[in-house]
Amino acid sequence: MSRVKPLSLSALLEQHLLLPSQPRVVALLSSELRKPEPGMRSLVQLFSTDPVLTARLLAAANGPAHLLGQRVHSIPEALVLLAPVQLRQLVQKAAPVSASHVSAGWSLANFWRYSLDTARMARALAMSVQANASQAYAVGLLHGLGELLLQAADPDTFFRLSELLEPLHPKRPQVEMQLMGYCSGQITAHLARQWNFPELISDAFQFMHAPMEQPVFEPLTGVLHLAVWRASTRALNWGERQLAVTFPAETGLALGMDIDMVLRQASIDWHAAGSLDVQF
């Protein structure tokens, strides 16, 4: 019998070890880290393709053992801080799951591809507004962890949600709030706080679906919001009319960007991003 009520937010967060990584990335990282001197470029590229491994990496870099005056915001910063032995331990603890896994129309391969699209889009938009591109890439890559954890830890609720509205639809957060009392963005934000991420990052997740509601508008949150909009509508194969009526114009205005600028930047960045591609 299916559970009647969704898991509470606190109960869901306790299941974070269920978050899956890509087997191929885990294998390639393990191989690279067995070398006497692992290549920094290879490590950056490999971590940059897996949301969960990146989350574990940033969590380790922001842990008590590495507490600095400043928090670590990006993959390159974290890799400089952690020793190879720590990286090996982190990768060994990964929970790889086949990309062929599908649940309630939820394909891990599609999720990983969408996460990469969002990360690339966030990076491109950040560069356009003179924001930190590495930081924007990280939040773009990680923003969907809440949805991923919900699918892994509470598949019944995930299935019920998917019957109402597909996972990447821009209105999905409202449906989640109605059914669960919280949304996937809040799950990601709580995970970020649980892992001691910088407040700037956890706040970006908290307000990523409504950046204009943040007490003080933060460009990183706005960049993430636009990146999520474009990557999700691309995954849904929306046409020009749907794009035009759903474009977050207020957020775009706050960043000095219109829909044409966002769409043009997306096209440029996706076509130039082959170096980070992973075969799913």
Same domain, yes or no, for 210 and 248? yes
Rounded distance between C-alpha atoms, residue 32 and residue 34, angstroms: 5
List of residues 6+ apart from 17 with CB closer than 8 A = 95
Same domain, yes or no, for 78 and 211? no
Final residue in a domain of this structure, among 92, 120, 138: 92
Same domain, yes or no, for 44 and 131? no
- Residue 221 falls within a domain, yes or no? yes
Same domain, yes or no, for 210 and 247? yes
Q: What is the pLDDT of residue 103?
A: 61
**pTM passes above 0.85:** yes
- Residue 254 falls within a domain, yes or no? yes
- Residue 99 falls within a domain, yes or no? no
Same domain, yes or no, for 120 and 43? no
- Residue 139 falls within a domain, yes or no? yes
* Residue the block writes with tokens 């109605």: 178
Q: What is the pLDDT of residue 64?
A: 75
Final residue in a domain of this structure, among 92, 120, 136: 92
Q: Which domain holds residue 30?
A: 20-92
Final residue in a domain of this structure, among 63, 92, 121: 92
Same domain, yes or no, for 112 and 62? no
Q: What is the pLDDT of residue 74?
A: 93
- Residue 47 falls within a domain, yes or no? yes
Q: What is the pLDDT of residue 278?
A: 44
Same domain, yes or no, for 123 and 254? yes
Number of domains in the chain: 2
Same domain, yes or no, for 29 and 168? no
- Residue 280 falls within a domain, yes or no? no
Same domain, yes or no, for 66 and 153? no
Same domain, yes or no, for 109 and 244? yes
- Residue 5 falls within a domain, yes or no? no
Domain of 209, CATH number, reads: 1.10.3210.10
- Residue 13 falls within a domain, yes or no? no
Digit-by-digit pLDDT tens for the chain (280 residues) are 445 689 999 999 999 999 999 999 999 999 999 999 999 999 999 999 999 999 999 999 998 765 656 788 999 999 999 999 999 999 999 887 765 556 656 789 999 999 999 999 999 999 999 889 999 999 999 999 999 999 999 999 999 999 999 889 999 999 999 999 999 999 999 999 999 999 999 999 999 999 999 999 999 999 999 999 999 999 999 999 999 999 999 999 999 999 999 998 866 655 555 444 444 3
Same domain, yes or no, for 48 and 72? yes
Same domain, yes or no, for 147 and 38? no
